[in-house]
Amino acid sequence: MTTATLIEGDGIGPEIAAATVKAIEACGGKITWERADAGAGAVTKHGDPLPQATIDSIKRNQLALKGPLATPSGGGYRSVNVTLRQTFDLYANVRPVTTIAGVPSRYTNVDLVIVRENTEDLYAGVEHYVDPRRTAAESIAIITKFGSERVIMYAFDYARKHGRKKVTLVHKANILKMTNGLFLDCGREMAKRYPDIQFEDMIVDATAMKLVVAPEKFDVIVTMNLFGDILSDLTAGLVGGLGVAPAANIGDGGCAMFEAVHGTAPDIAGRGIANPTGLMLSAAMLLDHVDQRDVAERLRRGIRAALASADTRTGDLGGRANTAQYTDAVIAAAR
Ligand code: NAI
């Protein structure tokens, strides 16, 4: 039995977390869940978006499944997601994007993985107002050799381990010559250590266009935090949308946190219609991570089968099922 911290999260979080836990149990997963609070719900309950008990639970288990957390725009508390990634040094955000048979989308042949640096760059949110009247603000994008090398190495190792052929490093080094230039230099150096993996670099704006025109040309993409955030939503759109996109956050110390790419979906929260696939596929990555591969495969089989029919797919994918009906279909097909 493996113990994992479960953060249900805000908005649709509790609905998709319940569906995911039910599906894992039905597939024979041997996971004991230690429930912990974070996000807006934790502010209401404990007056703190990231209570110490939650940090302690993740520290103890080194493993977490996390629902989406609401982050106020503009003012309010700092993103708990960013804090969690930095607290546990979860430097590699791994987001596989694969066409799923039956799920309506514009493409039939997408199979790529985005490895996003998770702790540095503009996304770290190091910023301040320049003057007391707040008429100008400044953001600092820090890129380090250490941070760049380890995530690029992770991408190359991932490519090797998963039989992938090419790593594309995405940057804007033509304009951001120092920060992005450093990231690119680290990539060129690292590529020499992996002669068996093809390496190319691409400017981020051209990448956005090419991903839409010919996504099948990409294999593993490695990029910095903000570009990775944006491009991974774009790539989710290539295979049916945010509802089906999973992610893993991996740290050097062995700590790993799994979460869907999407947010709290406040527009549909509490209605029982959310699509739990993103979190279920993230949970399948968690099961792989703890060597319960047979359970993960059973869960993926159930998901593929349930997504294949409009009767059992959820509404965001053009289907007619609600969260509970979809979950039951996953479980029935997995068994
Ligand atoms: P969102 O991903 O929550 O929603 C965007 C659109 O996709 C909405 O129309 C929503 O209904 C739909 N959608 C998303 N997931 C879905 C699902 N599983 N099933 C069906 N439809 C789904 O993005 P938004 O609205 O920009 O953000 C809402 C909140 O979520 C914000 O507070 C934001 O900070 C937070 N957020 C948290 C993330 C995390 O915890 N990892 C990631 C992204 C956003």
Give the model confidence (pLDDT) of 80-113 as tens digits. Answer: 988 998 899 999 999 999 999 889 899 999 999 9
We report the CATH number of the domain holding residue 172 as 3.40.718.10
CA dihedral 16→17→20→24, nearest 10 degrees, is: -170
Is ligand 1 within 6 A of the CB of residue 316? yes
Instruction: Tell me, yes or no, whether 203 and 125 share the same domain.
Output: yes
Q: Is residue 15 part of a domain?
A: yes
Q: Could you give the CA distance from residue 189 to residue 175 in angstroms, rounded to a whole number?
A: 21
Q: Whose CA is nearest to atom 1 of ligand 1?
A: 263
CA of 263 from ligand 1 middle (Å) equals: 3
**Strand ranges of the sheet holding 220-223, from the earlier edge strand across to the other edge:** 31-36, 2-7, 63-66, 256-260, 246-250, 92-98, 111-117, 220-223, 166-171, 198-203
Helix ranges (H only) for 200-276 are: 204-213, 225-238
β-strands 256-260, 246-250 pairing: antiparallel
Dist. CA 249 → ligand 1 center (Å): 18
Nearest ligand 1 atom, CA 260? 41
Q: Do 227 and 251 belong together in one domain?
A: no
Ligand 1 atom index nearest CA of 80: 40
Tell me: do 247 and 332 sit in the same domain.
yes
C-beta of 81 in contact with ligand 1 (< 6 A): yes
205 and 267 in a single domain? The answer is no
Query: What per-residue confidence (pLDDT) applies to 86?
Result: 86
Q: Where in the sequence is the domain holding 172, given as residue range(s)?
A: 106-238
pLDDT of residue 226: 97
For residue 211, how many C-alpha atoms fall within 13 Å in the half-sphere facing its CB? 28
Degrees (nearest 5) of the Cα angle 164, 82, 8?
Answer: 90
Domain shared by 320 and 209, yes or no: no
228 and 335 in a single domain? The answer is: no
Residue 306: the pLDDT is 97
| pLDDT, mean over the chain | 95
> Are 233 and 248 in the same domain?
no
> End of a domain among 186, 211, 238?
238
* 115 shares its domain with 139: yes
Q: Are residues 224 and 263 in the same domain?
A: no
pLDDT for residue 35: 97
Q: Sorting pLDDT into bands at 50, 70 and 90, what band is 76?
A: confident
Taking the centre of ligand 1 as the mean of its atom positions, its distance from the CA of residue 40, in whole angstroms, is 14
Phi first, then psi: what are they for 321, rounded to 5°? -95, 155
User: Tokens standing for 202?
Assistant: 């691409």
The residues annotated with a catalytic role in the active site are 123, 172, 205, 229
**Domain ends where: 204, 238, 272?**
238
CA distances from 141 to 58, 100, 123, 223 (A): 28, 36, 8, 14
- Write out pLDDT tens, residues 160-206: 999 999 999 999 999 999 999 999 999 999 999 999 999 999 999 99
Judge whether 82 and 259 are in contact, CB under 8 Å.
no
User: Is the C-beta atom of 242 inside 6 A of ligand 1?
Assistant: yes
Place of tokens 């941070």: 147
Please, what's the b/e burial string for 168-180 (b: 16 or more CB within 10 A of its CB; e: otherwise)?
Answer: bbbbbbeebeebb
User: Is 99 among the domain residues?
Assistant: no
* Ligand 1 pocket check for 278: Cβ under 6 Å: yes
In a domain, 321, yes or no: yes
Which atom number of ligand 1 is nearest to the Cα of residue 16? 18
Q: Quick check: is 100 in a domain?
A: no
Residue 155 in contact with ligand 1 by CB distance below 6 A: no
Check if 61 has its Cβ closer than 6 Å to any atom of ligand 1: no
C-beta of 66 in contact with ligand 1 (< 6 A): no
73-82 long-range contacts, CB within 8 A, separation 24+: 77/43, 77/49, 78/125, 79/125, 80/38, 80/39, 80/49, 80/50, 82/123, 82/124, 82/125
Supply the pLDDT for residue 71.
87
Which of 133-137, 241-245, 326-330 shows the lowest per-residue confidence on average (mean pLDDT)? 241-245
Q: How far apart are CA 47 and CA 36, in angstroms?
A: 14
CB distance 8 to ligand 1 below 6 Å: no
Residue closest via CA to ligand 1's atom 12 equals 265
Residue 97 lies in a domain: no
Quick: pLDDT tens for 251-275: 988 899 999 999 999 999 999 999 9
| SS3 (DSSP) at 258 | strand
Ligand 1 pocket, mutate which of 242, 267, 279, 322 (most atoms under 8 A from CB): 242
Query: Smallest Cα–Cα separation from 120: which of 103, 143, 150?
Result: 143
Q: What is the pLDDT of residue 315?
A: 95
Distance of CA 60 to the CA centre of its chain: 22
> Could you tell me if 214 and 207 are in contact, meaning their C-beta atoms sit under 8 angstroms apart?
no
Q: Are residues 184 and 74 in the same domain?
A: no
Positive or negative: CA dihedral 225, 226, 231, 233: positive
Based on the structure, what is the number of domains in the chain?
Answer: 2
Under a CB-based contact definition with an 8 Å cutoff, are residues 290 and 250 in contact? Answer: no
Side chain identity at residue 231, one-letter code = L
> Span 296-307, mean pLDDT?
97
Pocket residue to mutate for ligand 1, from 10, 79, 262, most atoms within 8 A of Cβ: 262
Question: Among the three residues 185, 220, 238, which one is the final residue of a domain in this structure?
Answer: 238
What residue owns the CA closest to ligand 1's atom 41?
68
Closest CA to ligand 1's atom 43: 263
Report yes or no on 22 lying in a domain: yes
- Is 8 inside any structural domain? yes
Residue 139, pLDDT score = 95
48 belongs to a structural domain? yes
Average pLDDT over residues 30-45: 96
Tokens of 61: 């288990």
Indicate if 230 and 248 belong to the same structural domain. Answer: no
Statement to judge: residues 78 and 48 lie in one domain:
yes
Whether the pLDDT of residue 241 is over 90: the answer is no
Cβ–ligand 1 contact at 5 (below 6 Å): no
DSSP assignment of 174-213 equals TTSTTHHHHHHHHHHHHHTT-TTSEEEEEEHHHHHHHHHH
